């Protein structure tokens, strides 16, 4: 039965340790790489949530054998191809699934139909399609130009030219091409980024994971990427691969440790992480939080400022767009203004996150200014409790971010809390296990 709302707080403190679920970004990348590799790959710590279920289901539909037991996932690779050359694939609202899978299917060719929920059909994919068409792939839009659903056919792949892709809309377009093109790299291939590349840390994740599967890609100042020539199946199974905890999900609990005095520790990510969103801890530190870290853990113990409060900052968040949302809500508890820039990509995520964040923060009494590429937040002078609750727009990160507002002086109602199933199904149970009620 669907839960239409959840009332939280008010809470006065937070203390505890959270074992993070696996990273969504890593999980969906390694599922696809394992499916394309030669050999069997055992994935440990894989995220089990809506977005990764979408990818697993799609791969099974394509004929890839996936066995799940005792929390592990074993993928029998297709050695550079998919057994099924025809399929109808429902991709939900999983951008990390539809984009790289579109590229792989288009490069290999076949008869495929990819579609998703209505919001997925509003999320742009045109720049990826343009890049694929430039090498001879055959893709047709089935509704609105530039957006899913898509029909993929048999193309005539050409690899003797530089392949352009825009970098300023979503890094997932470049990730998709990087992962797919080794399948046809009979000679060295070059991808050129047009415009500024956003979210570079996510591209770094892609390159490091491809290397684990035997494909080393070099780059020139993040503008040109060179895929090595290979013969036959380019990807080779690494045997067993551990998936890190999700650094974006860590941000909510680290902020909780700052706002609620802590200590709150997350395990599964730390100084050795390959995820860019661990830089969220540095941003919290700039705001005055007491942050400590080890190789696979990060802990926050309240705030180290004279006033005992977080301090507003101005920060370019181009490298940490998902975790930046948590900073916007943490600004409810900060002295002075917090201005986050470099967030234009928020507009093409699960919802228009700039508009949604501005509206919901204002409901709590915050003073908010927003534009195409920034949001500026000042803490409420007087906190408010909106009777209609905080709307989440079927966006998991909106729900998780605004749970932090329950550390304020008033309770907070989160509407449609089950949307967190996209990446963190038991988020609210974990959250409530570490917060302490106000007395």
* pLDDT value at 192 more than 50: yes
Question: Which pLDDT score is estimated for 350?
Answer: 83
User: What average pLDDT does this structure show over 226-250?
Assistant: 93
Mean pLDDT of 141-145: 97
| DSSP 8-state secondary structure symbol assigned to residue 174 | H
88 beta partners:
113
Report the distance separating Cα 28 and Cα 51, nearest Å. Answer: 8
**pLDDT tens per residue across span 216-232:** 999 999 999 999 998 77
Enter the CATH code of domain 5-22+244-437: 3.65.10.10
The percentage of residues in the chain with a pLDDT greater than 70, rounded to a whole number, is: 99
Give the separation between CA 159 and CA 368, rounded to whole angstroms: 48
Per the residue annotation, which of 322, 372, 395, 426 is the catalytic one? 322
Looking at the chain, the domain(s) classified CATH 3.65.10.10 span 5-22+244-437, 24-222
Higher-pLDDT residue of 238 and 3 is 238
Rounded to an integer, the average pLDDT of 152-166 is 91
Q: Answer with the residue of higher pLDDT: 233 or 38.
A: 38
Q: How far is 212 from 228, CA to CA, in rounded Å?
A: 15
- Rounded to whole angstroms, the Cα distance separating 297 from 18 reads 10
pLDDT at 199 over 90: no
pLDDT digits (tens, 9 = 90+) for 37-92: 999 999 999 999 999 999 999 999 999 999 998 779 999 999 999 999 999 999 99
CA 230 – CA 237 distance, rounded (Å)? 16
**Mean pLDDT value of segment 138-142:** 98
Catalytic-residue membership of 130:
no
Nearest one of 124, 233, 100 to 177, comparing CA atoms: 100
CA–CA distance, 311 with 303 (Å, rounded to integer)? 9
Give the pLDDT confidence score for residue 1 in this predicted structure. Answer: 37
- DSSP of 223-260, one letter per residue? TEEEEPP-SS---B--SEEEPPB-HHHHHHHHHHHHHT
Q: What is the mean pLDDT of the chain?
A: 95
pLDDT classification of 2: cutoffs 50, 70, 90: low
- The one-character DSSP state at 189 is E
CATH topology of domain 24-222: UDP-n-acetylglucosamine1-carboxyvinyl-transferase; Chain (3.65.10)
pLDDT greater at residue 111 or residue 200: 111
């Amino acid at each position: 039965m669907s839960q239409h709302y959840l009332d939280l707080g008010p809470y006065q403190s937070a203390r505890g340790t959270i074992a993070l679920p696996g990273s969504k970004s890593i999980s969906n990348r390694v599922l696809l790489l394992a499916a394309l590799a030669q050999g069997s790959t055992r994935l440990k710590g894989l995220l089990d949530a809506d977005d990764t279920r979408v990818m697993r289901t799609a791969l099974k539909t394509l004929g890839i054998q996936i066995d799940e037991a005792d929390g592990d996932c074993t993928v029998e690779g297709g050695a550079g191809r998919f057994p099924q050359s025809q399929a109808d694939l429902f991709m939900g609202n999983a951008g990390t699934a539809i984009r790289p899978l579109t590229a792989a299917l288009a490069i290999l060719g076949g008869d495929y139909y990819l579609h998703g929920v209505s919001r997925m059909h509003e999320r742009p994919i045109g720049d990826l399609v343009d890049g694929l068409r430039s090498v001879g792939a055959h893709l047709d839009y089935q509704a609105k130009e530039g957006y899913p659903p898509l029909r993929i056919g048999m193309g005539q792949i050409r690899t003797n030219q530089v392949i352009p892709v825009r970098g300023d809309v979503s890094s997932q377009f470049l990730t998709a091409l990087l992962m797919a093109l080794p399948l046809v790299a009979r000679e060295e291939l070059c991808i050129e980024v047009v415009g500024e590349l956003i979210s570079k840390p996510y591209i770094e994740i892609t390159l490091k994971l491809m290397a684990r599967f035997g494909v080393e890609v070099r780059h020139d100042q993040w503008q040109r990427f060179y895929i090595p020539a290979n013969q036959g199946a380019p990807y080779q199974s690494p045997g067993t691969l551990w998936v890190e905890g999700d650094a974006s999900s860590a941000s909510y609990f680290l902020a909780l440790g700052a706002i609620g005095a802590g200590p709150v520790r997350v395990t599964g990510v730390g100084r050795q992480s390959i995820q860019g969103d661990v830089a969220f801890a540095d941003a919290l530190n700039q705001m005055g939080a007491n942050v400590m870290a080890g190789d696979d853990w990060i802990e926050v113990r309240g705030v180290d400022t004279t006033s005992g409060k977080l301090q507003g900052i101005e920060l370019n968040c181009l490298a940490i767009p998902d975790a930046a949302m948590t900073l916007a809500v943490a600004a409810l508890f900060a002295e002075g203004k917090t201005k986050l820039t470099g967030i234009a990509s928020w507009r093409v995520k699960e919802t228009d996150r700039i508009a949604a964040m501005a509206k919901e923060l204002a409901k709590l009494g915050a003073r908010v200014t927003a534009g195409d590429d920034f949001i500026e937040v000042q803490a409420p002078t007087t906190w408010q409790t909106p009777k209609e609750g905080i709307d989440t727009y079927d966006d998991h990160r909106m729900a998780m971010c605004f749970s932090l507002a329950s550390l304020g002086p008033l309770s907070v109602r989160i509407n449609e809390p089950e949307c967190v199933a996209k990446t963190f199904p038991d988020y609210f149970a974990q959250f409530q296990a570490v917060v302490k009620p106000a007395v």
